[in-house]
Amino acid sequence: MHDLRHIRREYQLKELSKASVNADPFLQFSEWLKEAIDAKVQDPTAMVLSTVSNEGRPSSRVVLLKQVTDNGFDFFTNYLSKKGQQLKNKPFASLLFFWNELERQVRIEGKITPLPTKESDGYFLSRPLQSQIGAWASPQSSIIEGRNALENRVKEFDKKFKVEAISRPPHWGGYRLEPDLFEFWQGRESRLHDRIEYLKSSGGWEHHRLAP
């Protein structure tokens, strides 16, 4: 086993101050996301989605951000999956973006609401055909006998949709996280990182610096 205690590096690329950030956290996020895309960060829209069970046990997994609006952050998944069931019972979640190449992360917390049917339909039909078929074929988070069982289901739905138009499965669609908290983190030397937190209030957004 490797000795993990000494694996570390210094963060020295950039700095972040309360005076330098945008007063609107959505605009600040958009600026950082654009910089990540322009810098060709691998999978810049990948985010860790954390949910919680009825027993208070957290679960995390990586999903892809598909849209940012003035109202929130949109992603899509199987409603019957583990995360889908947890979001149904406990409609709050957190998102975490980590852009290693820029030594940055963004943490976002808020309430979850399902997207309107029309929006889920529109996004589903924009996906590649094999991804559409996969959404029908995979009973996400359920126990299956093996890879062959999954591949056989894909073949069945592939055959089915060769003779009829494909549509969105009723068990698949989108969610929107409506934020009430943002935290922007910029790595700095000696672990004295810059952290700016935004909290939603009745008057809009307030932001302040946090200790690293």
Residues with catalytic annotation? 191
Largest CA distance in the chain: 62
- What one-letter code names the amino acid at 212? P
192 φ, ψ to 5°? -95, 65
Measured CA to CA, the distance from residue 78 to residue 82 in angstroms comes to 9
Nearest residue to 108 via CA among 138, 156, 68: 68
Supply the Cα-derived Rg of the chain in whole angstroms: 20
Fill in the DSSP letter of residue 116: P
Q: Hey, CA dihedral for 23, 26, 32, 34, is it positive or negative?
A: negative
Please report how many Cα atoms fall inside a 13 Å half-sphere around the Cα of residue 8, on the Cβ side.
10
> Contact at 8 Å (CB) between 44 and 34?
no
3-state helix/strand/coil string of 199-210: EEECCEEEEEEE
- What one-letter code names the amino acid at 207? H
